[in-house]
Every structure is written in structure tokens, then in C-alpha cells.
């Protein structure tokens, strides 16, 4: 395998962090292809525990080249903080390259994100407040500022002058906020450009060279397929395509070059922010068991610290995500979280009035009405965190994993049974 896309296949937070760290250690090039610092990847390895938001997880291996691709929206401030943090902990960041084509999250994007959420009242999306939606909207509207612009004084000033005029009208007239100063914003972002100049480049030749040499390349996903702006639970989605098509687009690698798409699924389901969640559990012992409060896998957002909503594995959504993204391999994470449950449910269908649906409906209004149809499986009631081979898992755990693979329609690749890089079961080699 040369090019592997690793994508979140639920509503994000599937535990991708430690899988990308594991696979990144085997890849020669890691490309983060989409999203922004709305993402939070927790990586636990021999160097410590790290929380990454923008920097690819290949950064811990000094020989791996890491690229922040064109499809990412970048908070320069957040990125500099992450870089400083890593450097202060002795991590070599010299092989990090940032696409000149990637868009910049500007202060007005963050302000609009928050004002728009406030204006939605009870219909909030529950965004991370990082300015992601407004930044992608400007990119599509052709009024974005790109990383390359931060390196060219005149271009930056001209772009800012034309963009800020409109943004300030909106800020003052629509939201009653103070306008942003052209002079201060210009100087601040020029300074960010200076500080990041060694990393900003045209990343296309780097990626092409790696492809020509058949190097193992990992396309690192953020968020999840059910948050996809086209195929997710719109409008309760993020503003980018986090799936396999987004991986190609955001990295600048054509679909014919991708050898495998690994879908990362938690062994159950979680969601942060608003939006439909058919298998969500009301508070109770099962929900508490899945939340893991106070434990290393606690269901608390890495970026926002919000408590995640929890529920049973939803095979209808999972299969749909696999279909839309061509997922051929499954990575099932956090299996150990289910260790103490006597019975485990899987949603195998949706009932809507008298019909059973094979696919999730396209609108949230209908999705809100579906009743999950559950299949119940016995739990294994024994610890799995130290298991390293599939055949050593308790039989009931093997049966649960096999049933998920069957329902989703893809082969098993990896299972994780704890947050550490070593706590993984490799069922089929990836690179
Ligand atoms: P935004 O991406 O900040 O605009 O947020 C839109 C929706 O996507 C909200 O429901 C967020 O909670 C969700 N979201 C964005 N990034 C992540 C992530 O990395 N993990 C989980 N949910 C996310």
C-alpha cells in the first residue's frame, strides 16, 4: 500500500489521534487534508501525551515529512502555539510544510462564527467557535486570504483592504461590534507570516516526489463523515468534506492514487454539538459506562472540553459512511470501553412509521422521527486493554467486532483497546 486515507466515519472524535500516530510512524509523508483547529487529536506515545489541532501526527518521527494541505483552514496563532508547545518539549518540527494554498482563519471569521451561533438562538449548530464555517465560506466566495498572502506585504495589504471594508460593515451595522483596524490586522498577520515563513511553501512538488517514489503516504482525517457538509446531518455539520473525496481534494492527490480508505469507528457512537443522533442514550448506567468520566478515554471534547453525547453503535449510519467514502478497511476504537457491559446493542435498521429504512434519510426532520431497531449481543465482562491479537479477545468481543464488520461491509484492519500507541490489535497490515 502506498497511499492510505484514514478518515473519521462517525461524528468525529472516533479516537483517530492515536491511530494516526501509530500509522504515521510507518508513513514517510503525512498530509492533514481538511478542517482546522476545530479538530483535536490526542496522541499518547513514548514521548508523552500531546493534543494536536492542526499539526499532522507524523511530527513525532523526525524522518517523516508532514504537510498541512491546501484543504485545511489555518489559525496562524493556534498553529504557532502548537509549534512552540512541541518545540518546548523537544519535538523536531523542521519537516513541517504548510501549503501556500491553505486558507487563513482571520479574526472576523471567529467573530462571525460566534455572532451567527448567538443569532441562531435555540437552533444552534454547536460549532467549536473557531471560525471554521466563515473561513470556508470566504474561500468559496473567493474572498479568502491564503497562507501565501501572509508572505507578500503588498498582496496582503491589498487583499485585507478590500475584504475588511465589507467585514467591518457587517461587524458594525449587523452585529453592533467594533470594526477591525486595517493597520493592526495587517501588521499582526504579516508577523504571523514572518514567523511561519520557513514552513509555508508550495507543497505540490513534495507530494508528487513522494508519490513518484512510492513512499507510504498517510492522508490524515479530521472530524467525521457524518459531519460532512454534503453527506452529513446538514445543517448540523462542519463546513468541509472530512471524507475520502475531501482527502483527495485537500491533499491534492487524485482518487486513482489512493490504495485504501480506512474508516475509523468507535465501538459505540458519540457526538458533540447539536443535531440528530438516533441511538443516543438518555442518562443512566449504560450512558455512564460509555462516558468514562475520570478515565483516560473520557468522552470530553479535546478542543472545547464539552461533554460528548453517547449512544450505541449505529450500523445504518456506519454503512452509509462506508458507502459514500468507499471505506474498505475498518479501524474500531475504544473496544475496551465496552468491557464492563453485560449487554451491548447495535442499531441494525431504522423504523419510520411502518417502513424499515435501509439508508439514513437526508433531512434532519425525518431523521428525528426514526426509531432505531436494535440487535442485542452479550457483553464479555472482562478486560481487553492488554490484548494484542484478535484471537486472544474474549469470544463475545470477537463476535461483536465481526458483526460490525459484516454490517458495515468492510474488512477489519485495526482495533484499539486503550489510548496508548501500543494498545492496538493489528488484524491486517496497513503499510
Ligand atoms: P465547526 O466545525 O466548529 O463549525 O462545528 C460544526 C459541528 O461540527 C459542531 O457540531 C461541532 O461540534 C462539530 N465538530 C467540528 N469539529 C469536530 C471534531 O473534531 N470532533 C467532533 N465534532 C466536531
Above 90 in pLDDT, residue 106? Answer: yes
Over residues 37-69, the pLDDT tens digits come to: 999 888 888 899 999 999 999 999 989 999 999
Helix (H), strand (E) at residue 207: helix 204-212
113 CA closest ligand 1 atom index: 4
Residue pointed to by grid coordinates 472576523:
108
Q: Is 361 exposed, middle or buried (0-12, 13-18, 19+ CB in 10 A)?
A: middle
Above 70 in pLDDT, residue 127? Answer: yes
DSSP state of 226: G
Helix, strand, coil distribution of the chain in percent, nearest 5: 35, 20, 40
Query: How high is the pLDDT of residue 43?
Result: 86
- 79 in Cβ contact with 73 (< 8 Å): no
Does 200 sit in the ligand 1 pocket, CB within 6 Å? no
Q: How far is the CA of 38 from the centre of ligand 1 (A)?
A: 6
Does 223 sit in the ligand 1 pocket, CB within 6 Å? yes
Residue whose CA is closest, atom 12 of ligand 1?
Answer: 273
38 CA closest ligand 1 atom index: 16
Q: Supply angle C-alpha 67, 70, 71, rounded to 5.
A: 110
Over residues 196-231, the pLDDT tens digits come to: 999 999 999 999 999 999 999 999 999 999 999 999
Q: How far is the CA of 11 from the centre of ligand 1 (A)?
A: 8
Above 90 in pLDDT, residue 421? Answer: no
Confidence of residue 1 (pLDDT cuts 50, 70, 90): low
Catalytic residues: 13, 41
Where are the extended beta strands (E) located within 112-268? 200-201, 217-220, 260-266
Query: How high is the pLDDT of residue 235?
Result: 97
Q: Is pTM, for the whole model, over 0.85?
A: yes
Query: How high is the pLDDT of residue 232?
Result: 98
Query: How high is the pLDDT of residue 362?
Result: 96
* DSSP-assigned states of every residue in 290-317: HH-TTSTT--B-TTT-PBPEEE-EEHHH
Over residues 368-419, the pLDDT tens digits come to: 999 999 999 999 999 999 999 999 999 999 999 999 999 999 999 999 999 8
Q: How far is the CA of 40 from the centre of ligand 1 (A)?
A: 10
Q: What is the mean pLDDT of the chain?
A: 96
Q: How far is the CA of 260 from the centre of ligand 1 (A)?
A: 25
Over residues 247-281, the pLDDT tens digits come to: 999 999 999 999 999 999 999 999 998 999 999 99
Instruction: Please tell me the distance from the alpha carbon of residue 417 to that of residue 409, in angstroms, as a whole number.
Output: 22
Query: How high is the pLDDT of residue 20?
Result: 87
Above 70 in pLDDT, residue 367? Answer: yes
Amino acid at each position: 500500500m502506498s497511499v492510505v486515507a484514514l478518515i473519521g466515519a462517525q461524528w468525529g472524535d472516533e479516537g483517530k489521534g492515536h491511530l494516526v500516530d501509530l500509522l504515521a510512524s510507518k508513513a514517510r509523508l503525512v498530509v492533514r487534508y481538511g478542517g482546522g483547529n476545530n479538530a483535536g487529536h490526542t496522541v499518547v506515545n513514548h514521548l508523552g501525551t500531546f493534543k494536536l489541532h492542526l499539526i499532522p501526527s507524523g511530527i513525532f518521527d523526525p524522518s517523516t515529512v508532514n504537510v498541512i494541505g491546501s484543504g485545511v483552514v489555518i489559525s496562524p496563532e493556534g498553529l504557532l502555539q502548537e509549534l512552540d508547545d512541541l518545540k518546548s518539549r523537544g519535538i523536531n518540527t523542521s519537516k513541517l510544510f504548510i501549503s501556500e494554498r491553505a486558507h487563513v482563519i482571520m479574526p472576523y471569521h471567529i467573530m462571525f462564527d460566534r455572532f451567527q451561533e448567538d443569532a441562531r438562538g435555540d437552533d444552534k449548530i454547536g460549532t467549536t467557535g473557531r471560525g471554521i464555517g466563515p473561513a470556508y465560506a470566504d474561500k468559496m466566495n473567493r474572498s479568502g486570504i491564503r497562507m501565501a498572502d501572509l508572505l507578500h506585504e503588498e498582496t496582503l495589504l491589498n487583499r485585507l483592504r478590500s475584504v475588511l471594508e465589507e467585514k467591518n460593515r457587517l461587524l458594525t451595522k449587523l452585529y453592533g461590534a467594533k470594526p477591525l483596524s486595517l493597520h493592526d490586522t495587517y501588521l499582526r498577520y504579516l508577523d504571523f507570516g514572518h514567523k511561519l515563513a520557513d514552513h509555508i511553501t508550495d507543497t505540490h512538488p513534495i507530494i508528487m516526489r513522494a508519490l513518484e517514489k512510492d513512499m507510504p503516504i498517510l492522508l490524515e482525517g479530521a472530524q467525521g463523515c457524518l459531519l460532512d457538509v454534503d453527506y452529513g446531518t446538514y445543517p448540523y455539520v462542519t463546513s468541509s468534506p472530512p471524507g475520502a473525496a475531501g482527502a483527495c481534494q485537500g491533499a491534492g492527490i487524485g482518487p486513482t492514487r489512493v490504495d485504501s480508505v480506512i474508516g475509523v469507528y468507535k465501538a459505540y457512537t458519540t457526538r458533540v454539538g447539536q443535531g440528530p443522533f438516533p441511538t443516543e442514550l438518555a442518562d443512566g448506567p449504560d450512558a455512564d459506562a460509555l462516558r468514562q468520566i475520570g478515565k483516560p478515554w473520557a468522552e470530553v471534547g479535546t478542543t472545547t472540553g464539552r461533554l460528548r453525547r453517547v449512544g450505541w453503535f449505529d450500523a445504518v449510519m456506519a454503512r452509509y459512511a462506508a458507502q459514500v467514502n468507499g471505506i474498505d478497511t475498518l479501524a474500531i476504537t475504544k473496544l475496551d470501553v465496552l468491557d464492563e457491559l453485560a449487554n451491548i446493542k447495535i442499531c441494525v435498521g431504522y423504523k419510520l412509521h411502518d417502513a424499515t429504512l435501509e439508508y439514513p434519510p437526508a433531512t434532519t426532520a425525518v431523521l428525528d422521527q426514526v426509531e432505531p431497531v436494535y440487535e442485542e449481543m452479550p457483553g464479555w465482562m472482562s478486560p481487553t486493554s492488554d490484548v494484542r491479537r484478535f484471537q486472544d479477545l474474549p469470544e463475545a468481543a470477537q463476535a461483536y467486532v465481526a458483526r460490525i464488520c459484516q454490517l458495515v461491509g468492510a474488512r477489519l484492519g485495526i482495533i484499539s483497546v486503550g489510548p496508548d500507541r501500543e494498545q492496538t490489535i493489528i488484524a491486517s497490515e496497513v503499510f
